[in-house]
Structure 1
Amino acid sequence: MPSFDNSFVVNHTCLRIKDPKVSIPFYVDNFGFKVVATFPFPEKKFTLYMLGYEHDQETSHKNWSAREGILELCHNHGVEDDDSYTLNNGNGAEHRGFGHICISVDNINVVEERLLASNAKFQKKLSDGRQKDIAFVLDPNGYWIELIQHGKGKVDILTDQATYLFNHTMIRVKDPVKSLEFYKNVLGMKVFRKHDHENAKFSLYFIGYDHDSNFKEDSVDRDTSSLKQGIIELTHNWGTESDPEFKGYHNGNSTEGGAKQGFGHTCISCKDPAKFCKEVEEEFPDSTDWSVKWNQGGMKNIAFIRDPDGYSIEIISHELFKDGN
């Protein structure tokens, strides 16, 4: 297997947006994100906005690419003026795949009240459905944002954005055996917890990095999990792995068959990605799907690998664009 040191983190999730003048204030005002870096690429006609939380000095002194819990918003120049431009949130009847991002908060009831007061649109309020402890709000592009409560420092009738966390990103997978094999053996992640929903016939796998040599898989309870960042949630709808009629999930990037783009990728970061990519190529020469091998694309010092469902995972270093604005 490739070697995994304690520098490995799930760094960011990329979502395409229509108008940064709308999306950025939404995330900053409602959820306390800060714009920690901005990277314009005028020759390529797009700009990347890196949003994250800076709850302590240690985090604020780290380069954006060395952190967990970064949300990358990708704006293709000019689409804000195109009335016909729309994005795929991954949850429609067609071209399903990416499901949502999740923000963990101290007091979910107060957060919901504030969002309602700001006229935010909800896919699911706390009072809707059977699960009364989660909600789904829609961002300006129609992406689903799950709200969960970690309860740390909770005060009645108040909420403190300084406690908010970018907890996880959910993607649907066809075959959890193949997906877990990839994320564990190729990328070095571990299963924090698994939850089966027998009535609805689906399972959730929460995975990410834990560098404790004594870590036991599926040992993290929900309360502890809610206090983490950089988690990936794999959702498996039972039976897809053996259904010959199932065509697979949309990876967020393909436009085949009239599909629209939306979700872009997740990203892992480590201190020596060149070494890591070389080890992956040597260990899995015939079974890995690289869309961009290390340092061989139009943008240098990055790589992109695809998981079994075709979702892209970017691989970067802790020093990427360190001097960027």
Structure 2
Amino acid sequence: MASTTDTQNYKFNHSMIRVKDPKESVKFYEFLGMKVIKKLEFPEAKFDLYFLGYDSPKALSGGNNVWDREGLIELTHNYGTENDPNYKVNNGNAEPHRGFGHTCISVDNIQAACQRIEEAGYKFQKKLTDGRMRHIAFALDPDGYWVEIVGQKPIEETESVKETDLETYRMNHTMIRVKDAQKSLKFYQDVLGMSLLRTSENEKAAFNLYFLGYPGTKGVPAPGQGTADREGLLELTWNYGTEKDEAFSYHDGNKEPQGFGHICVSVDNLEAACSRFESLSVNWKKRLTDGRMKNVAFVLDPDGYWVEIVQNERFTGQDNF
């Protein structure tokens, strides 16, 4: 294996959230069409990890090794939380603990998809018919995390169709709020090697959205071209003026109350990637050499969100765990 690293080989592999009851959470995400790609058990440390993603023949990275994918959701279950009546996650959207916002799936037919979720008894933060934005919805998972639902086609084209095909779904993006858009854009582009694929400026509402990702074979979208057909994007939400407030900060999800844990990028050469990060003077949460787990590292983004770095096994032919 070469001792160099190329950010064009990097993948936005997964987003981790802590869950109270893994049976209920796995059931929900499987209902959305995902499957458990891998389960890692750590009984000595009293936690299990469930990696879920889209795996049909129509899925963008279906059939790949777990670390050679994009758009996975990692559920972390700490033993006993399911029996603790007082345990509750921080979903990232309630003051004063806002930070992480949501994950998002894109679907072939948003009306039919939302109707199916509602008929199954799951709750919504926002239905299609709520508010002014009639082309997006937010379902709630069993812990109250928001899952945005967007259509891969204009809503006008799908209103007469009553069916939805789960095999066409994508885990499209993960949204986090950022204090200083320019600092965050610089980090995710210059350090992690992502590309800015789309920007949505909302001056009247005083916020901008930035969608970043690894372009891969699709390349960077042409102006006006959407990104709903992709998986593994990162959405940065910037509310105007936060960068000017020295006292302002977002909750990283790892301080109490906990919820969202991290995003994860898989790389072609873990040691070379970490050496590159070191040369770029990143802030570390955990270097490769720290602690017992010598096969994962964590860097901190400008807001203190954790970014896990792992080896893509396709480049080594060896198991990470």
TM-score w.r.t. the length of structure 2 is 0.91
- Determine helix, strand or coil for the equivalent of 2:313: coil
CA 1:181–1:193: 2 relative to 1, 3 Å: same
Look up the match of 1:96. 98
Asked if the contact 2:102/2:148 (under 8 Å) is kept, the reply is yes
> Aligned-pair distance for 1:280?
1.5
Match among 274, 278, 283 for residue 277 of structure 1: 274
Look up the match of 2:52. 51
The Cα offsets for residues 208-247 of structure 1, whole Å up to 9 and x where unpaired, read as 11257x966x745453x0000110000000000012342x
* Structure 1 unaligned residues grouped into runs of 5+: none
Q: How does 1:101-112 map to 2 (within 5 A)?
A: 101-112=103-114
Could you list the structure 1 runs, at least 4 aligned residues long, displaced by more than 6 angstroms after superposition: 152-155
Asked if the contact 2:178/2:237 (under 8 Å) is kept, the reply is yes
CA 1:56–1:7: 2 relative to 1, 3 Å: farther
CA distance in 2, matches of 1:194, 1:141: 30
CA distance in 2, matches of 1:4, 1:76: 35
Look up the match of 1:262. 259
CA 1:146–1:322: 2 relative to 1, 3 Å: farther
User: Please, which moves more after superposition, 111-120 or 225-234?
Assistant: 111-120
CA distance in 2, matches of 1:221, 1:45: 48
Asked if the contact 1:126/1:135 (under 8 Å) is kept, the reply is yes
Look up the match of 1:123. 125
Asked if the contact 2:196/2:210 (under 8 Å) is kept, the reply is yes
The Cα offsets for residues 28-63 of structure 1, whole Å up to 9 and x where unpaired, read as 02x110001000000110000000111329844421
What letter matches 1:294 in structure 2? L
* Structure 2 unaligned residues grouped into runs of 5+: none
Q: What is the Cα-based RMSD across aligned positions, in Å?
A: 2.3
CA 1:296–1:270: 2 relative to 1, 3 Å: same
* Aligned: 1:302 with 2:296: yes
TM-score w.r.t. the length of structure 1 is 0.90
- Determine helix, strand or coil for the equivalent of 1:6: helix
Q: How many residues align?
A: 312
> Aligned-pair distance for 1:297?
3.0
* Aligned: 1:159 with 2:159: no
Asked if the contact 2:268/2:312 (under 8 Å) is kept, the reply is yes
Asked if the contact 2:7/2:193 (under 8 Å) is kept, the reply is no
> Aligned-pair distance for 1:296?
2.8
CA 1:220–1:99: 2 relative to 1, 3 Å: farther
CA distance in 1, matches of 2:167, 2:224: 23
* Aligned: 1:172 with 2:177: yes
> Aligned-pair distance for 1:310?
0.3
CA distance in 1, matches of 2:223, 2:307: 24
CA distance in 2, matches of 1:122, 1:34: 22
CA distance in 2, matches of 1:158, 1:271: 40
The percent of aligned pairs where both chains have the same amino acid is 46
